[in-house]
A and B are shown apart, each in its own frame.
Chain A
Amino acid sequence: MTDVPYAPPTQSRALKIALRWGLYLMLTVFALWYLLPLFVMVTTSLKSLEEIRTGSLIALPREVTLEAWRTAWSGACTGIQCEGLRPYFWNSVLLAVPAVLISTILGAMNGYVVAQWRFRGANIIFALMLFGCFIPFQVVLLPMARTLGILNIAGTIPGLIFVHVIYGIGFTTLFFRNYYVTIPAELTKAAKIDGAGFFRIFWSIFLPLSLPIIVVTVIWQFTQIWNDFLFGVSFSQAGTQPITVALNNIVNSTTGVKAYNVDMAAAIIAALPTLLVYVVAGKYFIRGLTAGSVKG
Chain B
Amino acid sequence: MSAILEVDGLFKSYGTTEILKDINVSIDKGEFLVLVGPSGCGKSTLLNCIAGLEPISGGSIRIAGQDMTEVSPKDRNIAMVFQSYALYPTMSVARNITFGMQVRGVDKATQAAKLAEVARQLQIEPLLNRRPGQLSGGQRQRVAMGRALVRDPALFLFDEPLSNLDAKLRVEMRTEIKRLHQDLGASMVYVTHDQIEAMTLATKIVVMKGGIIQQIGTPHEIYTRPANTFVADFMGSPAMNLIPARAQPDGTGSMIEIARDGADPLRLHDPRPSGVSGDILLGLRPEDMHEASKRPGEASQAGEVRIEVVEPAGADTFVVARLGGKEVTSRLSADTLARAGETLEFRFDLSKASYFAPETGERLG
Binding site for B on A (CB under 8 A): 184, 186-187, 189-196, 200, 204-205, 208-209
Is A190 touching B80 in the complex (CB atoms < 8 A)? Answer: yes
Is B53 touching A192 in the complex (CB atoms < 8 A)? Answer: yes
Chain B interface: which size bin?
A: 20 to 34
Distance (whole angstroms) from the CB of A200 to the closest CB of chain B: 6
Residues from chain A with Cβ under 8 Å of B100 in the complex = 193-195
Does B73 make an interface contact (CB < 8 A)? yes
Chosen A-B contacts, 14 in total, with CB atoms closer than 8 Å, are A184-B86, A187-B88, A189-B80, A189-B82, A189-B86, A190-B80, A190-B86, A190-B147, A192-B73, A193-B80, A193-B100, A195-B74, A195-B104, A208-B90
Docked Cα-Cα span, A204 to B53, in Å, equals 20
Q: A189-B53, A195-B74 are in contact. Are A200 and B84 (CB under 8 A)?
A: no
Q: Which residue of B lies closest to A196 (CB)?
A: B103
Is B88 touching A205 in the complex (CB atoms < 8 A)? Answer: yes
With A184-B86, A189-B80 given, can you name 17 additional A-B contacts, CB distance below 8 Å? A186-B86, A189-B73, A190-B82, A190-B87, A190-B147, A191-B88, A192-B53, A193-B53, A194-B100, A194-B103, A194-B147, A196-B74, A196-B99, A200-B103, A205-B88, A205-B90, A208-B91
Docked Cα-Cα span, A215 to B24, in Å, equals 51
Which 3 A-B residue pairings sit nearest by Cβ, starting from the closest?
A194-B100, A195-B74, A208-B90
Is A184 touching B84 in the complex (CB atoms < 8 A)? Answer: yes
Docked Cα-Cα span, A190 to B132, in Å, equals 15
Docked Cα-Cα span, A196 to B103, in Å, equals 6
Interface digits, B57-100 against A, CB 8 Å rule (1 contact, 0 not)? 00000000000000011100011101110111111000000011
Docked Cα-Cα span, A4 to B87, in Å, equals 53
Distance (whole angstroms) from the CB of B131 to the closest CB of chain A: 11
Docked Cα-Cα span, A147 to B51, in Å, equals 47
Docked Cα-Cα span, A205 to B96, in Å, equals 11
Docked Cα-Cα span, A191 to B103, in Å, equals 10
Docked Cα-Cα span, A209 to B89, in Å, equals 8
Q: A184-B84, A200-B103, A204-B99 are in contact. Are A193 and B90 (CB under 8 A)?
A: no
Docked Cα-Cα span, A186 to B147, in Å, equals 14
Binding site for A on B (CB under 8 A): 48, 51, 53, 72-74, 78-80, 82-84, 86-91, 99-100, 103-104, 147
Q: Which residue of B lies closest to A211 (CB)?
A: B90
Residues from chain A with Cβ under 8 Å of B87 in the complex = 190
Is B103 touching A195 in the complex (CB atoms < 8 A)? Answer: yes
Residues from chain B with Cβ under 8 Å of A193 in the complex = 51, 53, 73-74, 78-80, 100
Is A186 touching B74 in the complex (CB atoms < 8 A)? Answer: no
Residues from chain B with Cβ under 8 Å of A187 in the complex = 86, 88
Docked Cα-Cα span, A186 to B132, in Å, equals 15
Docked Cα-Cα span, A52 to B78, in Å, equals 78
Docked Cα-Cα span, A196 to B105, in Å, equals 11
Distance (whole angstroms) from the CB of A118 to the closest CB of chain B: 11
Distance (whole angstroms) from the CB of A32 to the closest CB of chain B: 42
Distance (whole angstroms) from the CB of B184 to the closest CB of chain A: 18
Docked Cα-Cα span, A143 to B89, in Å, equals 45
Residues from chain A with Cβ under 8 Å of B72 in the complex = 192
Q: Which residue of A lies closest to B100 (CB)?
A: A194
Q: A192-B53, A193-B74, A195-B100 are in contact. Are A209 and B80 (CB under 8 A)?
A: no
Residues from chain B with Cβ under 8 Å of A192 in the complex = 53, 72-74
Q: Which residue of A lies closest to B99 (CB)?
A: A194
Docked Cα-Cα span, A208 to B74, in Å, equals 23
Q: A193-B51, A205-B90 are in contact. Are A186 and B99 (CB under 8 A)?
A: no
Residues from chain A with Cβ under 8 Å of B73 in the complex = 189, 192-193
Residues from chain B with Cβ under 8 Å of A205 in the complex = 88, 90
Residues from chain A with Cβ under 8 Å of B147 in the complex = 190, 194
Docked Cα-Cα span, A8 to B38, in Å, equals 46
Docked Cα-Cα span, A204 to B100, in Å, equals 12
Docked Cα-Cα span, A193 to B74, in Å, equals 5
Is A209 touching B90 in the complex (CB atoms < 8 A)? Answer: yes
Among A184, A189, A190, A209, chain B packs the most CB atoms within 10 A around the CB of: A190
Docked Cα-Cα span, A186 to B89, in Å, equals 12
Residues from chain A with Cβ under 8 Å of B103 in the complex = 194-196, 200
Is A186 touching B84 in the complex (CB atoms < 8 A)? Answer: yes
Among A195, A200, A208, chain B packs the most CB atoms within 10 A around the CB of: A195
Docked Cα-Cα span, A212 to B100, in Å, equals 27
Docked Cα-Cα span, A193 to B158, in Å, equals 13
Docked Cα-Cα span, A195 to B87, in Å, equals 15
Q: A187-B88, A209-B89, A209-B90 are in contact. Are A194 and B82 (CB under 8 A)?
A: no
Docked Cα-Cα span, A187 to B87, in Å, equals 7
Q: Which residue of A lies closest to B104 (CB)?
A: A195
Distance (whole angstroms) from the CB of A89 to the closest CB of chain B: 37
Residues from chain B with Cβ under 8 Å of A209 in the complex = 89-90
Distance (whole angstroms) from the CB of A212 to the closest CB of chain B: 12
Q: Which residue of B lies closest to A187 (CB)?
A: B86
Residues from chain A with Cβ under 8 Å of B82 in the complex = 186, 189-190
Among B48, B72, B86, B100, chain A packs the most CB atoms within 10 A around the CB of: B86
Residues from chain B with Cβ under 8 Å of A208 in the complex = 90-91
Docked Cα-Cα span, A191 to B102, in Å, equals 12
Distance (whole angstroms) from the CB of B147 to the closest CB of chain A: 8
Distance (whole angstroms) from the CB of A288 to the closest CB of chain B: 16
Q: Which residue of B lies closest to A210 (CB)?
A: B90
Docked Cα-Cα span, A190 to B143, in Å, equals 13
Distance (whole angstroms) from the CB of A186 to the closest CB of chain B: 4
Q: Which residue of A lies closest to B81 (CB)?
A: A190
Docked Cα-Cα span, A205 to B89, in Å, equals 8
Docked Cα-Cα span, A11 to B50, in Å, equals 65
Docked Cα-Cα span, A205 to B86, in Å, equals 11
